[in-house]
Structure 1
């Protein structure tokens, strides 16, 4: 039986482990100045408390549409920006939805922000390496239980309760040794638009997420929902492009994201810039769309988070009804997965959806995977798709 483990000192970052979404030119120059933590059950509105903390530290969160006017060279000792993390549960709280089962990593806050300053050169300290060893994976449900959850969603769709629900499973494995190299392998997976590592007191999160939850840059807000998966072969590409089921599921989520942005005070007309474009992530084809709107009025961070969290591609439609189904179906909480994780700087906000994401808590490593369920979903195919999404993460963790 494996036991024990270590995690990073959060005051410094090891080389090549910049926070998710942080500018590349700031790599290895981050130094923690202060941090904000909010756990489910804590008092106050997490969106407002987070925005207040960041504003107090000089970051432009009260009017995000003006972030593009604040581009400047950041000198040593100045505030560089902040890493932001919002859990799926915190997103549900912000949206007024049903909160799911307890997180399997309760030591990780539901909202976490770290304000970083620049240092003249890297002060990253890599702890003395102990051999990394990973034990067997323990799944939160069996294949049969996962398939039954898919059938239950199909029944709910048949009753008219929902149109689509994203179903997610959890797995964990005990480990010994230093997790840093394994987490950096996760962050370095091909197609990881938000590849990076975020650390805290006794825990760390690594993501290989390819999906944009929300980006604000140059006065425009953008989301890039991903829905639809096939093996990254020529046949897989043809199947994805030809699948009426995948396209219908994808368009449903695009419509949900359009509605999310349209409800945002201060946003102008919403448009779909790109629909059902096929991209590759770690041996898988995935369909992505781009939805955007200009920020014509004042838009604050708190309002933005309440509009887009939790992400529609990992909840379903209608969003609040889907959250209620998820809470009833999933036996283990989503923890760090299916939330938002990224960066806020003087010039932009860029949060990825925390899919393809793992967490370590000093003793176990945790991972999640799932997919969207529609009336036409095949339960076994959905179980296999979740396994295909988890496979690159498990391989990266075990390598070396």
Structure 2
């Protein structure tokens, strides 16, 4: 069992996934946003003292294990000012108006003061996908990336968020033209991504609603389900399939390569593993998530990384407020 979170190059990560997939050996993977570093290990070798995961109940942590805290949660984010956010927004919006991108996902690195440790957040957060890496980060993601079951590959882009306590919140989100355009763009992008390896690619569900509960209240989010059929030898190509879909379209934009350049100019920080992907292969099927809702430890401080999609229709103030709304922990 490994004693550290040992990273490898992306070519080596792809090789391991292909070899272990063909041999039907269960493994766990974590890939960073830039696709230049990854953690890929056999499930039996993942040390829970270094890396803990719970992917929809598949976990290397004993059932029922949790941290119990009786005192109230202290959670105080310190987002950049709206004026500072406006500078990054302007870089993105200028490129959108010039036709260099149709949609760009702009994110921020927000200092947070809290009495919660990374380990406590992992243990207490309510999320379908949870990942903790000692002294590095914790993620509690609601967003599925790719699932593979019996040769069927599916992806579930999540775009569109609103405070569930607002009057007619679901209707307001569904009828929002900017949110609708953003969602349509990402669905089209992900259909193309799946088509690189799959046939019979179809949209099974479009803009369905999920309700998320946080320590500050509830949110509505919209997602879509896209699926296709993989060739019979897909297990021996799991690494190639995953690599060709990265980084996830929902956290970059379209067209993907140019939009990534725009994002790098606007954000001015290294996303690291934030907005990368993580998941597991059990010998038959694969499940994975996008690494959003992410808290990172750096230099003795904790930072929450959050963002959202920007289109030419976006209002800067609204996007700033949405970014702040996403700085939460799902502990209740």
> What is the TM-score normalised by the length of structure 2?
0.82
Which runs of 5 or more structure 1 residues have no equivalent in the other structure?
Answer: 1-31, 40-45, 64-69, 71-78, 94-109
Match of 1:20 in 2: none
Single out whichever of 324-333 and 174-183 deviates more from structure 2.
174-183
1:306 Cα deviation after fit? 2.2
Match of 2:86 in 1: 147
CA separation of 1:364/1:51 partners in 2, compared to 1, >3 Å: closer, same or farther?
Answer: same
CA separation of 1:134/1:320 partners in 2, compared to 1, >3 Å: closer, same or farther?
Answer: same
CA separation of 1:384/1:346 partners in 2, compared to 1, >3 Å: closer, same or farther?
Answer: same
Q: Per-residue displacement from partner, 1:45-70 (whole Å, max 9, x unpaired)?
A: x33301333566xx32x49xxxxxx6
1:311 Cα deviation after fit? 0.7
1:375 Cα deviation after fit? 0.6
The answer as to whether partners of 1:336 and 1:359 remain within 8 angstroms in 2 is no
The partner residue of 2:133 within 199, 204, 211 is 199
Match of 1:170 in 2: 109
Match of 2:30 in 1: 85
The answer as to whether partners of 2:202 and 2:227 remain within 8 angstroms in 1 is yes
Which runs of 5 or more structure 2 residues have no equivalent in the other structure?
Answer: 48-60
- 1:348 equivalent in alignment to 2:285: yes
- 1:215 equivalent in alignment to 2:147: yes
1:322 Cα deviation after fit? 0.6
The answer as to whether partners of 1:213 and 1:308 remain within 8 angstroms in 2 is no
Distance 1:389 1:122 in 2: 29
The answer as to whether partners of 1:269 and 1:293 remain within 8 angstroms in 2 is yes
The answer as to whether partners of 1:174 and 1:363 remain within 8 angstroms in 2 is no
Distance 1:235 1:135 in 2: 28
Question: What is the DSSP-based 3-state SS (H/G/I as helix, E as strand, rest coil) of the residue aligned with 1:269?
Answer: strand
CA separation of 1:239/1:175 partners in 2, compared to 1, >3 Å: closer, same or farther?
Answer: closer
The answer as to whether partners of 1:132 and 1:179 remain within 8 angstroms in 2 is no
CA separation of 1:126/1:214 partners in 2, compared to 1, >3 Å: closer, same or farther?
Answer: closer
The partner residue of 1:246 within 168, 179, 183 is 179
- 1:291 equivalent in alignment to 2:230: no
Within 5 A, what are the aligned runs for 1:258-337? 258-264=191-197, 267-282=198-213, 283-299=218-234, 300-337=237-274
Question: What is the DSSP-based 3-state SS (H/G/I as helix, E as strand, rest coil) of the residue aligned with 2:295?
Answer: strand
Which structure would you say has the larger Rg? 1
> What is the TM-score normalised by the length of structure 1?
0.69
Distance 1:291 1:126 in 2: 35
The answer as to whether partners of 2:65 and 2:123 remain within 8 angstroms in 1 is no
- 1:381 equivalent in alignment to 2:318: yes
CA separation of 1:34/1:55 partners in 2, compared to 1, >3 Å: closer, same or farther?
Answer: farther
The answer as to whether partners of 2:32 and 2:273 remain within 8 angstroms in 1 is yes
The answer as to whether partners of 2:76 and 2:114 remain within 8 angstroms in 1 is no
Counting matched residue pairs gives 309
The partner residue of 1:117 within 26, 37, 44 is 44
- 1:367 equivalent in alignment to 2:304: yes
The answer as to whether partners of 1:184 and 1:206 remain within 8 angstroms in 2 is no
Question: What is the DSSP-based 3-state SS (H/G/I as helix, E as strand, rest coil) of the residue aligned with 1:305?
Answer: helix
CA separation of 1:178/1:163 partners in 2, compared to 1, >3 Å: closer, same or farther?
Answer: closer
Distance 1:132 1:111 in 2: 36
The answer as to whether partners of 1:214 and 1:308 remain within 8 angstroms in 2 is no
Match of 1:105 in 2: none
- 1:48 equivalent in alignment to 2:17: no
